[in-house]
A and B are shown apart, each in its own frame.
Chain A
Amino acid sequence: MRTFTTHTPVPEVDLPRSLIEAEAEWMRASRSLQVPIGRRSFIKVSALAGGGLALAFWLGGRPAEAAPASGDSGDGSFSPNAFIQIRPDGTVVVFAKNPEVGQGVKTSLPMIVAEELDVPWESVRVEQSAIDREKYGDQFAGGSMSIPNCWDQLREAGAIARAMLVAAAASEWKVSPGTCSTDGGRVVHKSSGRKLAYGDLATKAAALPVPDPKSVQFKSRKDYKLLGRRITGVDNHALVTGKPLFGTDLKLPGLVYAVYVKCPATGGVPKEADLDRIKSLPGVKDAFIVEGNGRVDQLMPGVAIVADSTWSAFQAQKQLNVTWDESAASKDSWSGIIKQAEALAGKPGEVVRASGNIDAAFAAAARTIDARYTYPFLSHANLEPQNCTAWAHDGGIELWAPSQTPQGGRGAVAAYAGLSEDKVTVHQLRIGGGFGRRLMNDYMLEAAAIAKRVGAPVKLMWTREADMAHDFYRVGGFHSLKGGIDASGRLTAWQDHFVTFTEGGEPRKPVRGGGMSGTDFPCPMVPNLKVMQTMLPLAIPTGWWRAPGSCALAFAIQGFLHELSVAAGRDHLEFLLELMGEPRWLEEGNPNALNTGRGAAVIRLAAEKAGWGKPLPKGHALGLAFYFSHRGHVAEVVEVSMDSGNKLKLHRVVVAADAGPIINRSGAENQVEGSVIDGYSAMIEQEITFEAGRVQQSNFHDYPLVRMPNQPKIEVHFIESDFPPSGLGEPALPPLAPAVCNAIFTLTGKRVRTLPLSKEGITV
């Protein structure tokens, strides 16, 4: 049983345990908690009504068979919602368990099953699974956890099925299973030359006992036929032909359309609304106040408008007048917070982590450097705005929810509606971008609340403006950093006073994504360390934004680290490698800890591929940064130039990443390319500001995303080490901003300490 050590100083929310741990992986501190992960699943076999083999997973509790079967699908086959179905006609159906937010798991997770099952990918039909914890275990998209969480579970699914098919063939041939092998969806008896297709064995295999999962052998990497290849997304054809896939695309008989209007300052309660006038507007069917349950991550009070079309609902929303009781609403002011943070800089904070003797180290240092770094709040800005369709019928609620945590949403809806969970059905749909926003299920609760009152299926649709006004924002932060270097140019002391935020409560803890443990590279390598924090009160909702914590901390920490290598007169590559030191785990046996050998290897590879130290075109400079997050070791080297008007051009980004063996090369590269662009997009001009509790940005004109003309050339190099594979949705994002800022410094001598770049007068 693998374990990892962590503590979880994050607010309570309906998230899978393992995701909260992922969020907290970089926040490891003195307290420790042994949490088992990668539990072995128990597998139950069941015969398909039409003949064939189905493997249902049984993760404790009741067996899958006890769950109501979904019945005959009309084509003679049976769909018991298991991971694998093999039909007598040779069709292989593999169910994709986790939400697809663009991270490619609807393709990569079934690939793992297909590899161990040993079937040609072309013969596999992928279907999205139901939301069912009993059968599938945790189902969520977050923390770059899908691959590491499902790796053993899905290999086991495929390997057990293959073992049973081999046993079925061996019994048919009256030979020992050990003399049989598999190849491309067939069992082969080499010495006699006999072959049987899986489809022909399916019914017989279904009658066999399930082998002990520990007795089945996983393939070794050298025998992989599928994993590591470039496989294109299973939904690509449907996407490029405009088929309905997303939450917003859902159409049901009798569907009505709804919007939900909340107070622009979080926590405001509707006192009065001109509901009668709204109800008289063309196309409007109903308008009413929803009390909510007071939880920002679930259901805040607001006004629901139900209409005959999305447009009628949007138009009515524009005309709605609400008087809000804002006595308990957020009064947060970003400009006020900046002043508070400035006043705190240079003063001590609560010590989060300390080692050595920081004061003695600074006194003995040949050189010390001070710097303050600041970064803003950000919005997730998923291109598909939040939405959910809900239908209260037959004593239950059915939801079609683009959620990253559909199981949490199911539980929250059940609790809100006073139903048992089995009365709440959640269908997962393809999701138009996650980035952490849809770890929250507020739109599910809102849709459910409206559906409870409306006797028809209701599609709740947020406008872009509502989406930007009611996000769970990436939290901003402030760092007062001080570093010391000895006479030989070695880093001897590191101090950080981090000004962050708390939602209050006892014990006071940082808001989501706003914590800091003092274990980020290079903190554990510095002999004298002092990491402090001060938490300011905050009511604006915060959430996990791609590579939570790391997405912001990397800019400050890796930028300041470059300041120190420059001050020491050292080459940054050499400085980073010296800090990494000998190859070792920073915490033995902890897969969430940095491995310095892996770190050094990606740093070397990125530098080599980018031509570090070699001549560059005139007016160009390179910047290098490394970061470890979500089990991924990633180094990036960027090449920039800038014109006399401070217009930056990012020419090239060279990424070297070690996330273990690659599952789907195309998907993996896509995630790295996307992370780089996301990191770049966020650092240019994105900034969420707020005054009187109200967010001041509303759409893509004042919250711009990077566009095609600013796309750099991105090169991705993987080191496919033999460590278990980990996820790539996040770890390539954090190094981008510091790498760009380090390059800007090398080019211009100007150090960027405030993001976005527009604050420093830099445009693209």
Chain B
Amino acid sequence: MANIRLNVNGTEHNVDVVDPSTPLLWVLRDNIGLVGTKYGCGMALCGACTVHVNGSPIRSCSTPAIGVVGQRITTIEGLAAGDGTLHPLQQAWIDHDVPQCGYCQAGQIMNAAALLRQTPNPTDAEIDTAMAGNLCRCGTYQRIRAAIHAAAHALAAPATAIGGTQ
């Protein structure tokens, strides 16, 4: 049994875990109750478990929680602003009606958010490279790409409405 202290979405959590090597994914889901981050493969192959550690995307299924103590963890639940204003990617995902089953989309959005922080106006090729680690079993890649472009535009010109499909 180990007690670990995690900073998730700006809140400190004290968590008792039976196994000190427990991946961050399961601490988030089972201990803290943040279930937006998903289990897909357990081997960092699908990206459904993507969260940010100090702003960088990591695969929480393969990252021991104990390894990120004292670091800033952001999950899909913490991506929107404190007042509930959605991140432009979240808004673009809604407007472009990206999700089909939706199971992978939290991971997709978290990975895309990290991309836009580094590359504010990515090309198709840059999107392809950055997003290649995130599987979508339903095949929503075309809309993911369009939504990332739309969010990039929205971030560049926040006053402009995001082009949607509605």
Contacts and interface: CB of A to CB of B under 8 A. Distances in A.
Interface of A: 100-104, 230-233, 235-237, 239-246, 248-249, 251, 257, 282-283, 308-312, 314-315, 381-385, 430-435, 461, 463-464, 666-667, 670-671, 673-678, 681, 699-701, 705-709, 711, 713-714
Nearest to A431: B101
A436 to B, nearest CB: 13
A674 B138 contact: yes
B23 A102 contact: no
Q: Is the interface of B mostly helix, strand, loop or mixed?
A: loop
Given A251-B35, A673-B140, A699 B43 contact: yes
17 contacts: A231-B166, A236-B93, A236-B102, A239-B93, A240-B86, A240-B106, A310-B39, A315-B19, A382-B137, A383-B136, A384-B40, A385-B40, A670-B140, A677-B139, A699-B42, A700-B43, A708-B144
Interface string B92-105: 01110111111111
B16 to A, nearest CB: 10
Contacts of A383: 38, 40, 46, 48, 101, 103-104, 135-137
Given A311-B26, A708-B141, A711-B142, A242 B34 contact: yes
A238 to B, nearest CB: 9
B102 A242 contact: no
Interface in B60-76: 75-76
Nearest to A459: B30
Contacts of B117: none
B5 interface: no
A741 B136 CA distance: 24
Contacts of A233: 97, 99, 102
Given A673-B143, A709-B128, A240 B103 contact: no
A259 B120 CA distance: 43
Select the residue from B46, B89, B99 with max chain A CB neighbours within 10 A. B99
Which 5 pairs show the lowest CB-CB distances between chains A and B?
A242-B36, A677-B139, A102-B101, A432-B103, A242-B76
B155 to A, nearest CB: 16
Interface residues of B, number: 67
A713 B142 contact: yes
Contacts of A241: 36, 76-77, 79-80, 86, 90
B41 interface: yes
A384 B127 CA distance: 24
Given A384-B40, A677-B139, A701-B45, 10 more contacts: A236-B97, A240-B106, A242-B36, A243-B36, A383-B38, A383-B104, A430-B102, A432-B38, A667-B97, A713-B142
Contacts of A385: 39-40
Select the residue from A251, A678, A705, A708 with max chain B CB neighbours within 10 A. A708
B29 interface: yes
A235 B35 contact: no
Contacts of A463: 42
B58 interface: no
Contacts of B132: 707-709
A699 B35 contact: no
Contacts of B76: 240-242
B22 interface: yes
A579 to B, nearest CB: 30
B144 to A, nearest CB: 7
Contact of A700 (B75, B109, B135, B144): B135
A237 B132 CA distance: 24
Contacts of A461: 39
Select the residue from B106, B141, B166 with max chain A CB neighbours within 10 A. B141
Nearest to A385: B39
A714 B76 CA distance: 29
B10 interface: no
A433 B103 contact: yes
Contacts of A700: 41, 43, 45-46, 135
B102 A102 contact: yes
Contact of A248 (B39, B104, B131): B39
B45 A670 contact: no
A245 B23 CA distance: 22
B18 interface: yes
A707 B19 CA distance: 34
A245 B36 CA distance: 9
Contacts of B39: 248, 310, 385, 461
B80 to A, nearest CB: 6
Contacts of A711: 128, 141-142, 145
A237 B135 CA distance: 21
Contacts of B160: none
B103 A384 contact: yes
A241 B43 CA distance: 24
A751 to B, nearest CB: 26
Contacts of B30: 257, 309-311
Contacts of A236: 93-94, 97-99, 102
A532 B63 CA distance: 54
Contact of B35 (A101, A103, A249, A705): A249
B7 interface: no
A240 B165 contact: no
Select the residue from A241, A435, A676, A709 with max chain B CB neighbours within 10 A. A241
B165 A232 contact: yes
A675 B105 CA distance: 18
A236 B104 CA distance: 13
B31 interface: yes
Select the residue from B37, B103, B106 with max chain A CB neighbours within 10 A. B103
A240 B90 contact: yes
B33 interface: yes
